Amino acid sequence: MTRPQPSRAPARLCTLLLASAGLLAPVGGRAEEPVSFSRQIRPILADSCFSCHGPDANARKANLRLDTVDGATADLGGFAAIVPGSPEESEVLLRIEEELAEHRMPPPDSGKSLSRNQIDLIRRWIEQGAPWEGHWAFSPPSRVEPPPVVDEEWCRNPIDRFILSPLERDGIAPSPVADRVTLIRRASLDVIGLPPTPEEVDAFLADDSPDAYEALIDRLLASPHFGERWGRLWLDMARYADSNGYSIDAPREIWLYRDWVIDALNRDLPFDEFTLDQLAGDLRPGATTEQLVATGFHRNTPINQEGGIDREQFRIESVIDRLNTTGTVWLGLTVGCAQCHDHKYDPISQVDYYRLFAFLNSVDEPTIPVASPEDIARREEIERQVADYLSEIERDPKLLAIQKSWEENLDAPARQRQSQEVREAFDATPFDKRTPEANRVVFAAFIDQSDAPEVTPHREALQKIKADLPSIPTTMVVREQASPRETRFLMGGDFTRPGEVVEPGVPSVLPPLRSRSAGRPDRLDLARWLVDPANPLTARVTVNRIWQAYFGRGIVETGEDFGTQGTPPSHPELLDWLATEFVARGWSQKAIHRLILTSNAYRQASAHRPELSEIDPGNRRLARQSRLRIEAELIRDSALVASGLLHPKIGGPSVFPPQPDGVMSLGQVDRGWTADQGPDRYRRGMYTFFWRATPHPLLVGFDAPDGTFACTRRARSNTPLQALMLLNDEAFFEFASALADRVLATGPTDDAGRIDLAFRLCLARHPDEAESARLAELLEGQRAHALGNSGAGADPEAAERSAWTAVARVLLNLDEFITRE
């Protein structure tokens, strides 16, 4: 059945968005204007009707389906839900306008109801012939020419036309360009996650060439810190952590994957390659070590090491997590909803779910050493010597007797601290029944830990053997099994109720999968399908996420859900333009970054505009930039830069900056936390060792994700606990003291000059007079107080330091310090 397609109505879009968010009063008198099915009608149907009259066959009521044109217009026995052109004959309209509550749709117990405005929209849409369109996100992006604008001057690149055109239509002026100090601080925080130094600010201000700003952007995009800043956002989705999660939460080694992400972003590895390597690097022809490391993406799933678990259950949970993550990150679809039943809103059946599941169901999960072949050979040789040594002594009854008592005297925490293998050996067989082979791993731990005098010489001998053991990092990777594991449909998503065998495949609503060979398609085929330019979602979802970081909110606000329940795009043509541009530019992420960063839309001032607060409270129309509280890691990084303490090393094993005592005891196993004393104490926040059960409080407190599921956008909360951390935390006090020292050592000698320097180190700009005066007042008060307190033996130097530390603490606690303006 073909129906006339209505022309799109972008002019109304923003008004309509507001209407659908309930922010506008009902609008009348527009009967002749075409109603858009996909923007106006489908969202209403999806929200209020699809749960009973949608894709899920098992939940469908009255055999009525409203998510397809055939279902909606089907003959239901002399009548139809929707009769195009004839609202009075359409059962849908009769039922939603029904006065008797018991006959009205949606039924009262659903908790849903339609507003007058929504009912009128449906009526007008039926009057106009009920034109049907597929959900916008399942059609490929269509490249629209950037619209004409009156103010050509304002537009620095096509993005600006898409933003300005609807603003002009409604008579809204965009905001002026932000001042240059704000621009450099904003761009620095956004692109590399570090604030600019006063020298960088001065250089930028002094550069009066016409392309000074573009040069700044190019410098930032070329910085090796770009990969850190944007890598961290990618790691949010990869659910990266340094421990296994659940109850035992043992440490894991997978930082090489983290470093791979940083490096891949820095060299602008095209996004299609970036995808193939992470999802199927092991299957790529002639896979390199780097490509194997990249498959760590899907090894970031939590692992339950609790005693007594059913391993198959948790293996399946890992596959589910990988599938749902893939759906969220690449497709922007909530495929996880179809694990137990057909998706309620989107055309993804439960069979579709297990067909996708089948792609990911046949993997082994090895940990590989990453080092030169010589180092690996050397290590194997040493391990052989250790094994030989142990096999010589492991039957010695005297040692075994000592081992027995060592083992019996281990208290619960000490047992918990043993490695997984040792604990499993404890659990598997009591000491007396263990064969020497079964005892080997415990015996080795005993020799390593016991302080009995008989053991010491052996430990020393072993230490000698191990003396030149090369340190070889390992990382967790995915490897396809030689023969694929059979995948079965799981009834109700329950692994104890397997059903029919299913073969790998993709949902029929999306373009077909093209396999590389005639055989069974594999994970690499799936990855290639995701980045096939014909896929309508991947490019849109990816550019939307980049946009989200630069404006605080995506063009599609629900960046993780492009399905029918997601929010419609605020600027659909812009989204499609960016998506097609992304593919046309060879999937270069940096190209998209540069486009956005150099637009005038991005450069606008962020000050609130009272006249817009009613018509555009969420700043969806982007007549200004947004003020955004910076992410947890960036708060730490900014303080490290301001105080001059930052150790800018990129990559390597995760580190242990100070954290308050007692945090680690909140988990089942008290892992202990010894703060680093050397340069690692001052590394960027993203390198802080992340224990899933007991994450560093600064990270949790400022909304860093907990590493248990793919997070595509962080919340930005604002709590008293955050205030306490910035005010009182040992680490922040250390930063404040260092900032004070820095100002005293390197600044001018007068108070005003020093205040100015401290201010610029923290906020990039100069203080105004009132700000300067307020800080001077604090400084003098604190100085007098410090001198007064110490009485006759006052140490002026210490008093000076403490007074300046107070000033530094104020600056590090300002809202502006943790905000990207």
Partner 1 sequence: MTPPVESEPMTDLPPLLRSTRRHFFERCGIGLGSMALGSILGGNAPARDVGRSRSNDPLAPRPGHLEPRAKRVIYLFMAGGPSQLELFDHKPELQRLHNQPIPSSYLEGKRFAFMDTFAKEPPRLLGTRRAFARHGDSGAWVSECLPHTARVADDLTFVKSVWTEPVNHAPAKLYMNSGTTQFGRPSMGAWLTYGIGSEADDLPGFVVLQSGPRGPRGGSVLWGSGFLPTAYQGVPFRNGPEPILDLSRPEGVSPADQAATLDAIGDLNRRRLDSTGDPEIATRIASYEMAFRMQTSAPELIDLSGESKATLDLYGVEPGVPSFATNCLLARRLVERGTRFVQLYHTNWDHHGGPTENLEDSLDTVCRDVDRACAALVTDLKARGLLQDTLVIWGGEFGRTPMGEVREKIGRNHHPDAFTMWMAGGGVKPGLTLGETDEFGFSGIEDRVHVHDLQATILHLLGLDHTRLTYRFQGRDFRLTDVGGRVVEKLLA
Tell whether residue 258 is a contact of partner 1 (CB under 8 A): no
Tell whether residue 520 is a contact of partner 1 (CB under 8 A): no
Residue placing its CB nearer to partner 1 in the complex, 521 or 657: 657
Q: Among 94-102, 501-509, 514-522, 557-565, which window interacts with partner 1 (CB under 8 A)?
A: 557-565
Q: Among 122-130, 391-399, 527-535, 774-782, which window interacts with partner 1 (CB under 8 A)?
A: 774-782
Residue placing its CB nearer to partner 1 in the complex, 425 or 693: 693
Buried b (16+ CB within 10 A) or exposed e, 732-741: bbbbbbbbbb
Residue placing its CB nearer to partner 1 in the complex, 128 or 802: 802
**Binding-residue pattern over the window 592 to 611 for partner 1, x denoting contact by CB under 8 A:** --------------xxxxx-
Q: What angle do CA 670, 676, 681 make, to 5 degrees?
A: 125
Helix (H, G, I), strand (E, B) or coil at 501: strand
Tell whether residue 247 is a contact of partner 1 (CB under 8 A): yes
Measuring CA to CA, how many Å separate 768 from each of 370, 715, 759, 763, 815? 54, 32, 10, 12, 16
- In angstroms, what is the minimal distance from the CB of 726 to partner 1? 9
Distance CA 223, CA 203 (A): 17
Distance CA 791, CA 801 (A): 16
- In angstroms, what is the minimal distance from the CB of 427 to partner 1? 9
Tell whether residue 560 is a contact of partner 1 (CB under 8 A): yes
Q: Which of 16, 35, 44, 477 binds partner 1 (CB under 8 A)?
A: 44
Q: List for the chain the helix, strand, coil content (%; round to 5).
A: 55, 5, 45
Tell whether residue 66 is a contact of partner 1 (CB under 8 A): no
Hey, which residues between 421 and 460 contact partner 1 (CB under 8 A)? 430
Helix (H, G, I), strand (E, B) or coil at 370: coil
Residue placing its CB nearer to partner 1 in the complex, 262 or 739: 739
**Binding-residue pattern over the window 137 to 156 for partner 1, x denoting contact by CB under 8 A:** --------------------
Q: Is the distance from CB of 655 to CB of 731 less than 8 angstroms?
A: no
> 83: which strand partners?
none
Find all residues with CB under 8 Å of 590, minimum gap 6, and list them.
221, 226, 268
Q: Among 386-394, 433-441, 500-508, 657-665, which window interacts with partner 1 (CB under 8 A)?
A: 657-665
Distance CA 820, CA 638 (A): 11
Residue placing its CB nearer to partner 1 in the complex, 202 or 795: 795
Q: Smallest Cα–Cα separation from 434: which of 470, 409, 462, 404?
A: 404
Tell whether residue 536 is a contact of partner 1 (CB under 8 A): no
- In angstroms, what is the minimal distance from the CB of 704 to partner 1? 10
Q: Which of 257, 271, 297, 345 binds partner 1 (CB under 8 A)?
A: 345
Residue placing its CB nearer to partner 1 in the complex, 57 or 773: 773
Tell whether residue 741 is a contact of partner 1 (CB under 8 A): no
Tell whether residue 120 is a contact of partner 1 (CB under 8 A): no
Q: Which of 566, 569, 572, 657 binds partner 1 (CB under 8 A)?
A: 566
Distance CA 607, CA 628 (A): 12
Q: Among 61-69, 469-477, 519-527, 808-816, which window interacts with partner 1 (CB under 8 A)?
A: 808-816
Residue placing its CB nearer to partner 1 in the complex, 475 or 538: 538
Residue placing its CB nearer to partner 1 in the complex, 103 or 112: 112
Hey, which residues between 691 and 720 contact partner 1 (CB under 8 A)? 692-695, 697, 700-701, 703, 706, 708-709, 713-720
Tell whether residue 89 is a contact of partner 1 (CB under 8 A): no
Residue placing its CB nearer to partner 1 in the complex, 287 or 410: 410
How many CB atoms lie under 10 A from the CB of residue 375?
A: 15
- 778 — phi, psi (to 5°)? -60, -45
Q: Which of 670, 676, 741, 800 binds partner 1 (CB under 8 A)?
A: 670
- Listing DSSP states for 113-126 in one string gives ---HHHHHHHHHHH
Tell whether residue 629 is a contact of partner 1 (CB under 8 A): yes
Strands 487-490 and 367-369: unpaired
Hey, which residues between 166 and 185 contact partner 1 (CB under 8 A)? none
Hey, which residues between 462 and 501 contact partner 1 (CB under 8 A)? 496
Tell whether residue 54 is a contact of partner 1 (CB under 8 A): no
Residue whose entry in the numeric block shows the structure tokens 């943790």: 818
Distance CA 223, CA 216 (A): 11
Q: Is the distance from CB of 59 to CB of 344 less than 8 angstroms?
A: yes
Instruction: Show the DSSP H helices in 614-658 as ranges.
Output: 632-643
Please give the structure tokens belonging to residue 36: 């858009």
Q: Sign of the CA dihedral 560, 564, 567, 569?
A: positive
Q: Is the distance from CB of 565 to CB of 140 less than 8 angstroms?
A: no
Please give the structure tokens belonging to residue 186: 């904003």
Hey, which residues between 408 and 427 contact partner 1 (CB under 8 A)? 408, 411-413, 416
Tell whether residue 658 is a contact of partner 1 (CB under 8 A): no
Tell whether residue 518 is a contact of partner 1 (CB under 8 A): no
Query: Residue count at the site for partner 1 (CB under 8 A)?
Result: 116
Looking at this protein, which amino acid is placed at residue 277? D
- In angstroms, what is the minimal distance from the CB of 657 to partner 1? 14
- In angstroms, what is the minimal distance from the CB of 632 to partner 1? 10
Please give the structure tokens belonging to residue 341: 């039943």
Q: Smallest Cα–Cα separation from 267: which of 241, 239, 290?
A: 290
- Listing DSSP states for 559-573 in one string gives TT--STTSPPPSSHH
**Binding-residue pattern over the window 2 to 21 for partner 1, x denoting contact by CB under 8 A:** ---------------x--xx
